[in-house]
Structure 1
Amino acid sequence: MRKLDTKTRALIIRLLVEGNSIRATSRIADVSKNTVNKLLNDAGAACAKYHDEHVRNVKASVIQCDEIWSFTYAKQKNVATAKAAPEHAGDTWTWTAIDSDSKLIVSYMVGGRDSEYAIEFMDDLRARLANRVQLTTDGHKAYLEAVEGAFGGDVDYAQLIKMYGGETGSKGHEKKYSPAECTGIKKRTVEGRPDKALVSTSHVERQNLTMRMHMRRFTRLTNAFSKKVENHMHAVALHFMYYNFVKVHQTLKVTPAMEAGLTDRLWDISDLVAIVDANEPAPKKRGPYKPRKKAISK
């Protein structure tokens, strides 16, 4: 099968990480949708593997965690009546943990929002950190058991609980597009001695906006969504690889990976293509050539 040249693959990846849909990427790069999907899957798998192997021993002081909602195939309320809905259709949550200083995404996970996923997420986060940290999450109850199980007493943990009013403050049709008004916050110490001045989820919530801007399938009120959870996971893995290693942070003037000491240089899209190439299986050795026997006509 003919392989796309490096320049075309780099273009496709750049279009995807800058918020273009599969169809838009297909039109701009002048390739088929299947080609874009194939490269997305290959790139996502390669990026997930690289993150798992290299984002380790991270020295951080303040970690913020959050979950961001999306859906796969159909919204949860419509899954029961959806035609041929695949496994894991419905609500799809992406868990993220960001280092407040370097803005590095230390850990992420795609799945449900129950305690099982919370435990797996916190176990993964703990395994990537090199030292004791101050941790802040929202008031989601699943975090309590998960943080205790992963960190024990070796963490300064607090929850930031936001309180919302019943009305959005808007009138008319725009009301349904506006979030409820935050009427106050409560900082609750759970473990250790967290500095109350550093108890915040502002950085991780800003990262949620970055995700919605750079991944088309996260954009609200559109027909852009993942058809399969595997595609969703690959898109997330590619995004975080691009965010951590390629995209220069506006405030830091370097990439989060450089700020965190995980690399000493600025990466380019071509480096992501190189990771995809390195993750491809080696071609199978062909056996000796055996000429076909010529048929004898009678």
Structure 2
Amino acid sequence: MEVKCPYCESDQIVKNGITRHKKQNYKCKKCNRQFVINPKNQPIAESTIKLVDNLLLERISMRGIKRVAKVSLQWLQSYVNGKSVSVEPQVKVIPRKKPRLTIECDELWSFVGDKKCKVWIWLAINRNTREIVGVFVGSRDQETALGLWQSLPTVYRQWAVCYTDFWQAYSCILPKKRHKAVGKESGQTNHIERFNCTLRQRISRLVRKTLSFPKKLENHIGAIWIFIHHYNSEIHSKFCIMPS
């Protein structure tokens, strides 16, 4: 039987001992990689990876994704770790030139590790397009409110009227002339409050009563950003406009 390297398809192959599983080990003289014929652990198919990416956008636990995609929990956790680290922590928004912009800001809480470690997600949404234009994750203080403000694109910081609740951190950061603090009964923050519900429905680690609390803050933040990018991409496709 002719043996070829599965990595570079070279036929310059030599035997290289026996593995601990009593299988013949081969080495490629061209790329210097080792391999066996018909390995027990096959590479994850591209279709499976796409399925995992889609499942990560739904309210399914890691073990649930493992069962549906038929992958090992070890591989899945490693894949999620890498995906969380590589995701871009910056919103991509539709370019705006008109100064008449209105955003709604709010924050929601979740946990990392256990209920003693509460983490707050600060969000800003464009009222007209429903596009998420600002995101920051941290505690519920003035410093994190500043992080939300700095995450907004320049045009929003210069022109947008900002509707929030009465949490005092907002009044310390947002421009007084464009900051409108209102109650829920006013209906001026309905869109951002509805999006908070969407997050809790789509991301299992944000459900109040759940076993899906993340153990790593990086994965928690990564999962939020992955969904934000997916959500905004659907908004952009409706307008058929490339974000900046």
TM-score by length of 2: 0.73
Equivalence map 1:1-298=2 (5 Å): 4-49=44-89, 51-52=90-91, 54-55=92-93, 57-58=95-96, 61-76=101-116, 90-127=117-154, 129=156, 132-148=159-175, 156-162=178-184, 185=185, 200-245=188-233, 255-259=234-238, 262-263=241-242
Letter in 1 for 2:48: T
**In 1, Cα distance between equivalents of 2:158 and 2:135:** 19
Measured after TM superposition, the shift of residue 127 of structure 1 is 3.1
Residues 66 and 4 from structure 1, CA distance in 2 versus in 1: closer, same or farther, beyond 3 angstroms?
same
SS at match of 1:91: strand
Measured after TM superposition, the shift of residue 58 of structure 1 is 4.3
**In 1, Cα distance between equivalents of 2:146 and 2:201:** 28
SS at match of 1:263: coil
SS at match of 2:201: helix
Give the CA RMSD over aligned residues: 2.5
Q: Which has the higher contact order (CA 8 A, sep 6+)?
A: 1
Measured after TM superposition, the shift of residue 161 of structure 1 is 2.6
Residues 261 and 116 from structure 1, CA distance in 2 versus in 1: closer, same or farther, beyond 3 angstroms?
farther
Give ranges in structure 2 of 5+ residues lacking alignment: 1-40
CA contact (8 A) 1:57 1:129 kept: no
Q: Which of structures 1 and 2 has the bigger CA Rg?
A: 2
Residues 92 and 58 from structure 1, CA distance in 2 versus in 1: closer, same or farther, beyond 3 angstroms?
farther
Measured after TM superposition, the shift of residue 217 of structure 1 is 0.6
Q: How many residues align?
A: 201
SS at match of 1:95: strand
Give ranges in structure 1 of 5+ residues lacking alignment: 77-89, 163-184, 188-198, 246-254, 265-298
Measured after TM superposition, the shift of residue 201 of structure 1 is 0.7
CA contact (8 A) 1:58 1:106 kept: no
SS at match of 2:123: strand
**In 2, Cα distance between equivalents of 1:257 and 1:3:** 34
Letter in 2 for 1:94: I
SS at match of 1:240: helix
TM-score by length of 1: 0.61
Which shows bigger deviation, 255-264 or 215-224?
Answer: 255-264
CA contact (8 A) 1:20 1:216 kept: yes
Residues 200 and 3 from structure 1, CA distance in 2 versus in 1: closer, same or farther, beyond 3 angstroms?
farther
**In 2, Cα distance between equivalents of 1:44 and 1:20:** 17
Measured after TM superposition, the shift of residue 121 of structure 1 is 1.1
Residues 56 and 244 from structure 1, CA distance in 2 versus in 1: closer, same or farther, beyond 3 angstroms?
closer
Measured after TM superposition, the shift of residue 259 of structure 1 is 4.8
Measured after TM superposition, the shift of residue 3 of structure 1 is 5.3
SS at match of 1:226: coil
SS at match of 1:117: helix
Letter in 1 for 2:212: A
